[in-house]
Structure 1
Amino acid sequence: MSKRIYLFAIVAALLVPSVVGAQGMLMDMVANKVIDKYQSSTCDQLKTQKNEPPSAKEKKAIQLLRDDPQARTAFLNKVAGPITNKMFECGMIP
């Protein structure tokens, strides 16, 4: 019995970091997509998109970020600079 518990603990120890790593990779991919969207859009496109309601996919991502403070912090730390710079260039923030 103790061998099974030991084996389970080893498997769990190996799987948990890979799942967390996969979530981090997914968050990085999403953040990079958002950054690319802002950097490749014109100011007029961004101003138009600002008034559009979020898609179902975007709503789901927003809810995930609301539910996971660590993921939200990592995501915002990555996208804040590029998005803020673009918004400043477009006159969307003072």
Structure 2
Amino acid sequence: IMDMIAQRVIEKYQTSTCEQLWQSRGKPASAEEQRAMSVLRGDPQMRQAFFNQIAGPVMNKMFDCGMIP
């Protein structure tokens, strides 16, 4: 389950333009995203594995888009 969630997050960042990512910031999470967040909040080990998997691709895209300094 965690791998599937991580892959979806990575795909979202890899396929979205910077403009799309900026527009999606601050929007409420979908029901599916809320369920995923609930699972990750309840399992610290799964959350750590999730962060380890998505950190590189997501942070690189955010940096490229000027979302982080």
- TM-score relative to the length of structure 1: 0.71
Higher helix share: 1
State the percentage of identical aligned residues: 58
Q: Greater relative contact order (Cα 8 A, min sep 6): structure 1 or 2?
A: 2
Counterparts of 1:1-80 in structure 2, within 5 Å, are 26-80=1-55
**Structure 2 unaligned residues grouped into runs of 5+:** none
The CA distance in 1 between the partners of 2:40 and 2:60, in whole Å, is 22
Alignment coverage as a number of residue pairs: 69
Secondary structure of 1:78's counterpart equals helix
Secondary structure of 2:66's counterpart equals coil
Point out 4+ residue stretches in structure 1 off by more than 6 angstroms.
none
RMSD: 0.7
- Residue 92 (structure 1) aligned with residue 67 (structure 2): yes
Matched-pair contact (CA < 8 Å) for 2:10–2:57: yes
- TM-score relative to the length of structure 2: 0.95
Q: CA deviation at 1:51?
A: 2.0
